[in-house]
Structure 1
Amino acid sequence: MLELSRVTKAYAGIPAIDAVDLTIRDDEYLTLLGPSGSGKSTLLRLIAGLDMADSGRISLDGDDITFRPTHLRNLGFVQQSYGLFPHMNVFDNVAFGLRYREIDPVTDDSEVTRRVRSILDLVGLGDLGGRMVGQLSGGQKQRVSLARTLVTEPKVCLLDEPLGALDANLRERMTVELRKIRETLGVTFMHVTGNEAEALAMGDRMIVLDRGRLLQVSDPDSVFRAPRNVGVARFVNAYNILEGEVSDGSFRYRDLRFPAHGAPSGRASYAIRHDAAEIHTDTAPPESHASLPATFVASEFLGSRFFYFLRLPDGTIFDVERHLSREDPRRIEAGTACTVSWDPASALVFDAQGARLGDDTLKGAA
C-alpha cells in the first residue's frame, strides 16, 4: 500500500500539489483525471522520486520513501514518450532493468531470457524480441515500455498518459489490454490521463485533481453520477451546467424556475446529465419535467450514440446524448425551434462554493 500524507510541492511560491492525502491500495487500477496544469504529472513525479516534495510524507508498505532515490523505491514508471533505447532491440530494452539495476541485478542469462520472454508474451510481443525500436509502431513501442517496467516486478506501476500518443482505435484496444495485464500480474496501476472517458472506463477507483487538490476520490460510477463538486461535473464532461441562483426552494435561470428543494438561497449551479435530457419538437414535454426553449444546431454520430447540440436563448450550448441501444437517431433540421426537458429529480445543484447539495444518491438517466 502506497500512502501520501499532506504532500505539498510549489514552484515560485505557487502550489502545484497542495497538501494531498491519498492511499493507493494493493492490486487496484487507479486513474487520475484533471485538466492541463492541474498537477497530475507533478504528483506522479513526486511519487516516483523524480521530484522531491517540499513537505509531507510518502510511504510504501509503511516504509518512508519520501526522499529515497527513484531507483530504490521499487516503483515502475511508464512515460508517454516511451523512453526506449533506439540502438537496442526489443529484448534488450526489456532486459535492461533486470541486468543493470543497482539492487539484485539478474546475471543469469537463462533467467533473464525466461522473464523477458514471459512479459513479452503477456503484452502481445512474444515474436518481436529481435526487432529494433525504429521498426515498431506506436502501440508496439508503448507495449515495450510497459514490458520493460513490469519485468522488474514493481509494487506500483505509474503510467503518465500512456495512451495519449495513440490513435483512437489503438487507444480503445489498449484500454482493455492494460486492464487484463494488470489483473494478470496483480500489480497496482496508477494511470494519469486528461481523457475523461479513459479515466472512467479503466479505473477501479478514480481521482479528480484540480489546482493541486483532490476534488474527489471514488469509484468511477460515483464520480460520473454523483460528482461532489461542480468542477468534477465539468471535468467528466457529461453535464450541462447552468449558472443562476436559488431562492424560495427553486433554482432561477434567467426568467425560469426549476425545483431545488432544500437548497439554501444564493448563487448556485444546476447540472443536467447529457443523457438525462430529452428533445421535443412536435409534442410538449411531460408535465412533471423541467424544460427550456432551445434551437437545434447540429448532431454528431459517435458509433454507439448520438450527440445533439442545441442553443439556449442566451447563447449557451446544451448537449443531449442518446444511445442507439435505447432509441433510433432523430433527424432534426438546423434552426428548428424545440424544447429540451428533464426530470428535476435527476438534476444536481451546487452551492456558490461549488459543493454539491443533497444526499449521495446516484442520479442520472433512467
Structure 2
Amino acid sequence: MVFACKKRLTEEGQLLELNGVTRLYGDVVALDGLDLSVPDDTYLSLLGASGAGKTTLLRLIAGFEEPNRGELLLNGERLDGKPPHLRDIGFVFQNFALFSHLSVAENVAFGLRYREVGRLENEAEIRERTQHALELVGLEDFGHRGVGEISGGQRQRVALARTLVTEPQIVLLDEPLGALDANLRARMCDELRAIRERLKVSFLHVTGSETEALTMGDTVAVLAEGRIAQVDNSRSLFTQPKNPASARHLNAWNLLSGVVENGALRTSVGLLPIGEKVADDTPVQLAVRFDDIGVCAPSDVPAGHDHFEATYVTGEFNGPTALSFFRTPDGELIQVVDHLSDPRLPQLEEGKSYALFFSPDSAVLFKGAA
C-alpha cells in the first residue's frame, strides 16, 4: 500500500503560501505582514527564538487561530476561515498529544475512524492503513502496546504515524524533537528526513535550535520580529546571512555596530577597515563568524588581518569544539570557537587582554542601524 499524494499545485509550484499574514494579541504584534511560501516535496525548517511567533504561525496554518489580516492558501485555495478538519493538514505537536488510554495502533487509527470528512467504516482497511503507517515509522511490532510502555522516541514516531495515516498535503511539526534526549534527537533527524523523502510530502518543521534547523531543512526560513528575515538553503544561510537578524539567529556570528568614517568603520573597539565603499556617517554592522576569528598577543597580529583587543573571560568545552568568551572595553561579548581536531588558539588566561584578528574577506557588512 502506498499513501496517496493529494496535490494540485499553483502555477509557481508552491504548495502553501502566506501573504501579508498579521496576528495581533491586543496591542502585541505576533506576526507582522508575514510572507512565506512552502514548495511541494520539500523539508522547510522555520528557525526562530522563543516568542518569535513560530507556534502562532503553525496554529494559523492549521486553523486553530485566524489571522487579523492577510491570506493563507493551500494549492491556490484560501485556508483562512476554513475549519481545521477541512484543511487537509497534519500537525505533530511538541508533546505528541497521544491518548494514554489507547494502544499505539488505536492512536494511529483514531483519525481514520473519527474524522468528520472521509471517515473510514471498513475495519480491514483501517487495520491495513494503520499497519502501513506503523511500518513506515519502524513500529510495525508495537501496535498492541500502550503509549506508556514505549520510549519518548517511539511516542514521537507514533504521533507522526497518526498524522501521516490520514494522507495530509503538508505536515506541520511544532518543535517535535524538543522532548527527546540528544541521542534520540540525532536519530530522529535522520528518520524524519528519510520518511519525508519516501512520502514526497512537504514538512514544515518549527524549531528554536539553529543546529536542528540547518540539519533538517532542505530550506531554512528565519523568523524574526514577526517577519521572515531570510529564506535560503542551509549552507548559504550559515555562510552568507543577508541581515543582522539572520546572523543572530544562527548563533555563529559576532556583530559589531559602528559608523563609516573615511572608508573605515568606527566601532566600540576602535577603527576597523572595511572592504566596501560606503558613504561616511552610514550606520553599519560588521559580522564575523566565531570560527573565523583568531587569538594572539597584541604584538603578534598576522599581516593582512584586521584586529581589535578584548579580555578573555572564560571558556566552554563542548566535546569536539571549545567556545571562548571575550569582553571588549565597552562590555560587548565576543565568542570564538576552536575545533579540538585542529586547535588554533593559544593557552588563554582569564583577565588577560588579547588581539582578536580576522581576514577582511571573512567579514560581512550590514548597512543600517542595529
- TM-score norm. by structure 1 comes to 0.91
| 1:205/1:218 contact within 8 Å kept | yes
Asked if 1:263 corresponds to 2:275, the answer is no
Shift of 1:338: 2.4
Paired with 2:344 and 2:135, the residues of 1 have a C-alpha distance of 42
Tell which deviates more after alignment, 127-136 or 144-153. 127-136
5 Å matches for 1:242-321? 242-254=256-268, 256-260=270-274, 261-264=276-279, 265-281=281-297, 284-321=300-337
Within a 5 Å distance, the mapping from 1:31-42 to structure 2 comes to 31-42=45-56
After TM superposition, give the deviation of residue 330 of structure 1 in Å.
5.5
Amino acid at match of 2:362: S
Hey, what's the Cα distance between the residues in 2 that align with 1:49 and 1:300?
A: 43
Give the whole-Å Cα distance in 2 for the aligned partners of 1:104 and 1:44: 24
Aligned match for 2:29, one of 12, 15, 22:
15
Whether the aligned pair in 2 keeps the contact of 1:306 and 1:329 (CA below 8 Å) is no
Q: Structure 1's 180 and 241: CA in aligned 2 closer, same or farther, altered over 3 A?
A: same
Output the aligned Cα RMSD: 1.9
Which residue number in structure 2 is paired with residue 346 of structure 1?
362
Aligned to 1:73: 87
Tell which deviates more after alignment, 79-88 or 97-106: 97-106
Unaligned ranges ≥5, structure 2: 1-14
1:169-209 deviation line (CA, Å, top 9, x unaligned): 22222122211111111110001111111111111111111
- Structure 2: how far apart are the matches of 1:255 and 1:7? 40
2:140 paired with 1:133? no
**Structure 1 residues 120 and 70: CA distance shift in structure 2, 3 A:** same
CA shift, 1:15, in A, is 2.5
Question: Scaled by the length of structure 2, what TM-score is found?
Answer: 0.90
1:359 corresponds in structure 2 to none
1:289–1:142: structure 2 CA closer, same or farther, 3 Å change rule? Answer: same
Partner of 1:30: 44
1:215 Cα offset (Å): 1.1
Give the structure 2 partner of residue 363 of structure 1: none
- Per the alignment, residue 171 of structure 2 pairs with 157
Alignment of 1:84-95 (within 5 A): 84-95=98-109
- Among candidates 106, 109, 115, match of residue 120 of structure 2: 106
Task: For 2:245, give the aligned amino acid.
Answer: G
Cα deviation code 1:249-295 (max 9, x no counterpart): 11112362212232233332211100111111497121110112233
Q: Which residue of 1 aligns with 2:228?
A: 214
Judge which range, 139-148 or 76-85, deviates more.
Answer: 139-148
State the percentage of identical aligned residues.
47
Structure 1 residue 203 and structure 2 residue 211: aligned?
A: no
AA aligned opposite 2:191? E
1:166, CA displacement in angstroms?
A: 1.6
**Structure 2 residue identity aligned to 1:341:** F
Residue in 2 aligned with 1:332? 348
Shift of 1:328: 6.9
Q: Does 1:145 align with 2:159?
A: yes
- 1:171-182 aligned within 5 A: 171-182=185-196
Conserved? CA contact 1:37–1:211, under 8 Å: no
Deviation at 1:113, TM superposition (A): 1.9
Distance across 1 between alignment mates of 2:74 and 2:269: 55
1:329: Cα distance to partner? Answer: 7.4
Distance of aligned partners of 1:283 and 1:177 in 2 relative to their CA distance in 1, 3 Å threshold: farther
